[in-house]
A and B are shown apart, each in its own frame.
Chain A
Amino acid sequence: MTADLSTTAASLVAQAPDTAAPGARTAAGSLLAADVPSVVQSVDWLAIAPPTLTALAALVVLVADLFLPAHRKRLLGYATLTGLAAALAFLIPLRSGDRSTFCVTTGTQACSYTADHFTVVIQALVLGGAFLTVLLSLDDTRRLPAGEYWFLLLASASGAALLPASRDLATLVVALEVASLPAFALVGIKRGDRRSSEAALKFFLSSVVATAVMLLGVSFVYATTGTLHLTEIAARLDDVPPVLDTLAKTGVALTLVGFAFKTAAAPFHFWVPDTYVGAPLPIAAYLSVVGKAVGFSGLILVTVIAFPSHADVWGPALAVLAAITMTAGNVAALRQNATRARSAVRLLAWSSVAQAGYLLVPIAAAAYSSDEQIGSTVAYALMYAVVNLGAFAVAALVACTHPGNRLSDYRGLYATRPLAALALGFFLLCLAGLPPGIIGLFAKVTVFSAAVDAGLGWLAVVMAVNVVIALYYYLQWTAILFRAPDGAPERTGPDTAPPTSAPARRFRAPTPLTTAIVLTSAAGILLSGAPQTVLRFAAVNLF
């Protein structure tokens, strides 16, 4: 379904200069006069396989839900897993990164869909993240409407997979909306839970505002350049007529503001904590990794590919945004009360805001030096995806026995579940960037090195201070894990804990959750031994 959408969007775009561009300049107009060969674009089905397959799986699950009896609904989860695994498998033939499709048949040959290295890596991240989210949710969905849940998740994942491949603004916006709209529903899927609906509403409103602002910006850019293809925009923004210059600048700024909303960069981050806390835990994990990846890949595409000529505008802006974002996230995370309900998720939410700040640094650095800096963001995002999903997986495991999910519930986890505690400790230290989390350390080093290389010394220093602030709460949480378990487990929360804790004394960890924790820790340890696996993206040009 999504693929169809994108096809129509792409072909619309392809025809835009020819048919419906009253504001187009003479260059576009002259195309009209030329004899038009065939405007029908060829489709490379293999290149678009990953998002298409995900979208197909979504439809299959939705339809199958109608015919499956209630006790077989579990099969839907496994179908979802299979669909995502197949989509991931289709990335393997694409790894050479030289395919593109939906290209304009005349003139510039600009393409709307490109499966270059950047696309393949981000698609792997997004689909892998969705795969792990499914593992986290398999046990959680018994209380949720299963069919809708899997359908929405797959639909959102297909949009997220389409986004890094899109190379024109219309496809980009469509992909972004396909990724976001199901996410609103997923956040609010807990029927009858007031907090869940409130979170969904908050998320929806802020996201819709962001989309509106972005669309306005996109329309300004289109008005001044007469094209939607990113590469074309880059070429034409240079010689915008002086009258339209302000309009072009405004368009660039508004587009970026829209993406800043999506990436939850400060000051557009306020929706994050409430949304994460209100959403089902796996969806919070999904938003923190896949949702963020969507925002970032969009931001990278528009800044580096579409607006390189305005680097003097968005470079400093992003640098300041990065500094504010990481500081705001870390300071807020520092102030979390350990005994407040769901403080663990709240802390992870604020930490994800702070991490978004680090992710912005190389993009800002790209404005000052070269596009290769983007690789640092990609490498960091891969590391962050693995360890953050791992941390959420352990949080989901703890939530099985302590629905309150307070930080104080983690006290003495090592005594009851030594391996889970070790895994969480490892993930947190990776996020903090200290050995034994070697991959976290080197991912931070690449980000630092991008900043230093670009001459952004002040930003590097701000980030250094932030790393120290972040260590405080990450290490505090880690230290709690290894504390001796408290004699009185009900010391902190007599309100919710007692009814469930008694039967859960000998609680066996659900297999999917265990699998997710094992997968993420194995990946984390593997990457710590061979950081080159992800860091190589930091050293090459991905486009």
Chain B
Amino acid sequence: MTVIDISPSVMQFLLAFIVVAPLLGALAALLPAPPGLKGKNPDQAVLRHGVTVTGAVLVAAIVLATGFDHDHPAKMQATTDISWIPALDVRIHLGIDGISLPLLVLTALLTFLCALYSYFKLPAGPSPKAFVALVLVLESGTLATFAVLDLLLFFLAFEMVLIPMYFLIARWGGDQRQAAAWKFILYTLLGSVVMLLGLLLIGLKSGTFDMVALATDNGRGLTTSVQVIAVLAIGLGLAVKTPMWPLHSWLPDAHTAAPTVGSVLLAGVLLKMGTYGFVRILLPIAPDGMRTFAPYLAAFAVVGIVYGSLACLALARTGAKGDLKRLIAYSSVGHMGFVLLGIATMTPTGVNGALFANIAHGLITGLLFFLVGAVKDRYGTADLDTLAGATGAALYGRAPRLGALLAFAAIASLGLPGLAGFWGEMLTLFGAYSPAEGLSRPAFRTFMAVGAFGTLLTAAYMLIVVRRVCMGEHAPRSRLSPDDRAQQPPTGPQPPTGPQPPTSPQPPTGPEPSGTAGPEPSGTAGPRTATTPQLADIHPYEAAAWTPLAALTIVAGLWPAVLLGLTDPAVQQLLAGGKS
């Protein structure tokens, strides 16, 4: 069944176009705009160029998805196979199957939404020209990672995202951006160079770098000791990227410092490259080695789940000076823990769950970073204590739609049934209940229990965040007429925030903020009204950028078969090797 019939050569062209077009677009972005496309000013022209290119790539990706033969998602489609560097046996081998197609479309979608968002809201920093070029190179690298079927080409694509992301963080980021950018690139590079050693080991011992051939072999051409070393080396590189606890420490810093668009792409797309590598390379190519390390991987994964949640809880506490972006970054560590747990079970259920959680995390966390970025723009800070003040940031009152969407994203993130976050976590835990043959059942059931406990913790901190950001006391100043404001002073001079603590729902917020928010009440006569102005609600461009993500979260939650139908046959074949 294909939605529309597209000839193979067109499919081939589309996939090649998707990978190459952003690169050409990046080059074009650096050149001066041709006459007729100059726009209002050079900045606007180049930002529009970014939207056009990413839009074209998204359209191509959607056409590719519609032309994809959904009856045979396990088969590599739209394949191109050209020799590039015979000396190293590197071939330009492109192709997609049910595992890579959703990630490809997700990447194209998120990048397009980011480009659209930046068109209206340019991040503060140097010229937008370089910004657009870097985002396009980043897109090309990510898309290439999901589309290539050659180990060395995979490594090349994996490395391609480093430089653009470094500059996005170091040039357009917030506080501590230099240190965060360095941490990001040095960690990831160390991981990926070690990964290269593992890839070379596999390639040299088996005589080919072709992923399809290697996956069909299913590790039969490699001795167990080679597989163990290869899995250790490659797994280390992928685990840094994913990130797996305890190699995650670059992620919170990078997210906190990165601009909104950078955070969205980092969480939504870049992290997926790590988990994709696990599924695409390690599971089918070195199953024996993977079986050796699966229990350890699962153990680290559940530690990551609990650790991420506990870190979030600590950040969400009052007075912890937790940064919202940092909090969501830690929640990513937890969510990626579920993905890794699913992969470590080595069962179709678990791996399908992992792939589903991958996509869901991309949609939901992408949305969350967009929303937090918007909150930061409006309040000038993402610091939870400053935001929440005495009672809460009162987003429901001050920007109802923004508040509602944030609450929606948070609830989706905690895995409410009916939304995208649920299925991935549930399938992963199911997979852990009965792991693949040869893996210790009691151990994995323990991991399952710990992981399930982690979902509770996730729910706890997400709800705290919703309460502190969305709820709270709100005196709608803009609705006040000048007369009302004249009547305000009688209530103002009262002992500041005196009557508030009793009425506020949570006792601990009472004493704490009186210290942090001290200067405000001691200011002018009407401080209470000054601290809670009505905020701009969702702008149309923001709605345009966020609606697709929210809609897809609901679709994936209500109709998981649309994704699982794609991934399941491909996963079955990967795990079975050439046998099925």
A: residues with CB less than 8 A from B are: 379, 429, 434-436, 438, 441-442, 445-446, 448-449, 452-453, 457, 460-461, 464-465, 467-468, 471-472, 475, 479, 482, 484, 531-532, 535-539
Least distance between B343 CB and chain A CB atoms (Å): 24
A448 surroundings in chain B (CB, below 8 A):
196-197, 200
Q: Are A538 and B87 in contact (CB under 8 A)?
A: yes
| Given A468-B189, A468-B190, A532-B86, A482 contacting B204 (CB threshold 8 A) | no
A-B contact pairs, 13 of them (CB 8 A): A434-B159, A435-B162, A441-B159, A442-B88, A448-B197, A464-B193, A464-B197, A472-B182, A472-B186, A532-B86, A535-B87, A536-B86, A539-B86
- Complex Cα distance, B103 from A358, in Å, reads 37
Q: Are B196 and A464 in contact (CB under 8 A)?
A: yes
- Complex Cα distance, B159 from A445, in Å, reads 13
The DSSP consensus for interface residues of chain B is helix
For chain B, residues 154 to 185, give those with C-beta under 8 angstroms from any C-beta of chain A: 155-156, 159-160, 162-163, 166-167, 170-171, 182, 185
- Complex Cα distance, B163 from A379, in Å, reads 25
For chain B, residues 87 to 135, give those with C-beta under 8 angstroms from any C-beta of chain A: 87-88, 90, 126, 130
Least distance between A214 CB and chain B CB atoms (Å): 33
A461 surroundings in chain B (CB, below 8 A):
194, 197
Select which of A434, A452, A536 is within 8 A of B87 by beta carbon.
Answer: A536
Select which of A429, A446, A468, A536 is within 8 A of B193 by beta carbon.
Answer: A468
Least distance between A102 CB and chain B CB atoms (Å): 32
Q: Which of A429, A436, A452, A457 has the most CB of B within 10 A?
A: A452
B576 surroundings in chain A (CB, below 8 A):
none
- Complex Cα distance, B90 from A461, in Å, reads 22
| Given A445-B200, A460-B197, A535-B88, A438 contacting B186 (CB threshold 8 A) | no
| Given A434-B159, A452-B201, A479-B170, A471 contacting B85 (CB threshold 8 A) | no
Q: Are A482 and B86 in contact (CB under 8 A)?
A: no
Q: Are A435 and B156 in contact (CB under 8 A)?
A: yes
| Given A441-B159, A452-B204, A471-B189, A446 contacting B87 (CB threshold 8 A) | yes
The DSSP consensus for interface residues of chain A is helix
- Complex Cα distance, B170 from A472, in Å, reads 14
Q: Which of B85, B160, B167, B170 has the most CB of A within 10 A?
A: B85
- Complex Cα distance, B162 from A468, in Å, reads 12
B510 close to chain A: CB less than 8 A: no
B84 close to chain A: CB less than 8 A: yes
- Complex Cα distance, B171 from A389, in Å, reads 29
Q: Which of B171, B186, B193 has the most CB of A within 10 A?
A: B193
B152 close to chain A: CB less than 8 A: yes
Q: Are A482 and B193 in contact (CB under 8 A)?
A: no
Least distance between B142 CB and chain A CB atoms (Å): 13
Q: Are A531 and B85 in contact (CB under 8 A)?
A: yes
A536 surroundings in chain B (CB, below 8 A):
86-87
B141 close to chain A: CB less than 8 A: yes
A532 surroundings in chain B (CB, below 8 A):
84-87
A442 surroundings in chain B (CB, below 8 A):
85, 88, 90, 152
Least distance between A473 CB and chain B CB atoms (Å): 12
- Complex Cα distance, B164 from A436, in Å, reads 10
Select which of B137, B155, B186 is within 8 A of A468 by beta carbon.
Answer: B186
A539 surroundings in chain B (CB, below 8 A):
86-88
Select which of A379, A435, A484 is within 8 A of B160 by beta carbon.
Answer: A435
Q: Are B160 and A467 in contact (CB under 8 A)?
A: no
- Complex Cα distance, B110 from A509, in Å, reads 43
Q: Are B186 and A445 in contact (CB under 8 A)?
A: no
Least distance between B89 CB and chain A CB atoms (Å): 9
B90 surroundings in chain A (CB, below 8 A):
442
Least distance between B322 CB and chain A CB atoms (Å): 30
- Complex Cα distance, B309 from A138, in Å, reads 65
Q: Are A475 and B185 in contact (CB under 8 A)?
A: yes
Q: Are B200 and A475 in contact (CB under 8 A)?
A: no
